[in-house]
Amino acid sequence: MAKSKFEYVKQFEVEDKCLPNCWIVIRVDGKAFHRFTDSHHFVKPNDDRGLTLMTRAAQAVMEEYNDVVLAYGQSDEYTFVFRRNTNVFNRRGSKIMSNVVSLFTSSYVFHWGRYFNTQTMQYPPSFDGRWVLYPTDKNLKDYLSWRQADCHINNLYNTCFWKLVQESGMTPAQAQERLKGTLSSDKNELLYTEFNLNYNHLPELYRKGSVIIRKQDTDIIEKNHLDGNSSLSSSSSFSPRNSVSFGYHIEQTPRISTKIDVLHCDIIGEKFWTDHPHILSFKK
C-alpha cells in the first residue's frame, strides 16, 4: 500500500494482543432481547425455536473457526472457548471478538426463516460481545460452571414466574412479589404443589443449556514400527497376528475429528471433563 502523510494516524491504534498460553473466551450476549422476544412472540419461558436458532448460529462460528474447542449457550447468550495456543488473528482480542459477534449475528438473521417459518423479523437483532482470558484450566471450568449455574437459577425462576402468570392469572408484578425472597427449594415446592410439575423432569435443554464440542473420533491410525533387525516385504500381508510373528509393534494414535456434537448435559461436575479429556488438551 502506498504511503501518505496521513498514515501517522495508525499510531493511535491500541495494541490489544491477548497474553500467550491463556484460554481466550468470547461471550456473545443479546442486546435488549426482552423487547426482541416480545416483539416476535417468543413462547415463554422457553422457546424451542429461539434456542435452536441460537445454537445454529453458534455452530456457524465453530464451523468457521476450528480453534474454538467448545461453545456453551443458554437463553440469549453463547460462549466460545478458543484453545490456549491459538494464533487466530494474531491473538488480537478486538479482532477475534468482533469477527465472532459479527458472524454469530449474521448467522442468526440468515437462519431465522428456517426456525420461524413465515414469521417476519420485525427489526434486526443486536448482540454485544466481550473477551476474557483465563490462565488455568480450573479458571475456565469455573467460568463455564458459573454460566451453567446461571442457566439453572434463571430458568427455575422464569418457570415459576410464567406458571403464575399464565396459569394462575397473576400480573407480572404480582408474580414477581410472590417469588421475592424465595429459595430454590421454595420454587421447586411451588411448582410441584401448585402445578404438579417436577422441575427435574423439564428438558435438559432448558435446565442445563447447550454444549457444543468437537467430538473425538474413535478411528485409530495404526503406525507400524520394526523391532530390531526384523524386516518384512512390502508385498507381504500385514495383520496384528502377523505383527507378532515378524516382530512388529503397532502404535495406535487417535484421530481427532471435526464433527460437531450438541449436548445438553452437566458441565459443573468432573464427569463431563473425564468423558471428554481432549477438550482441555485439544491440539490443532
CB atoms within 10 A of CB 100: 25
Contacts 24+ apart (CB under 8 A), 198-202: 199/156, 199/159, 202/155, 202/159
Binding residues for GTP: 29-34, 75-76
Is residue 69 classed as helix, strand or coil in its secondary structure? strand
Is the distance from CB of 28 to CB of 129 less than 8 angstroms?
A: yes
**What is the rounded distance in angstroms from the CA atom of residue 264 to the CA atom of residue 272?**
11
**What is the rounded distance in angstroms from the CA atom of residue 157 to the CA atom of residue 180?**
10
Is the distance from CB of 23 to CB of 85 less than 8 angstroms?
A: no
- What is the CA 60 to chain-centroid distance, rounded? 11
Binding residues for Mg(2+): 29-30, 76
Binding residues: 29-34, 75-76
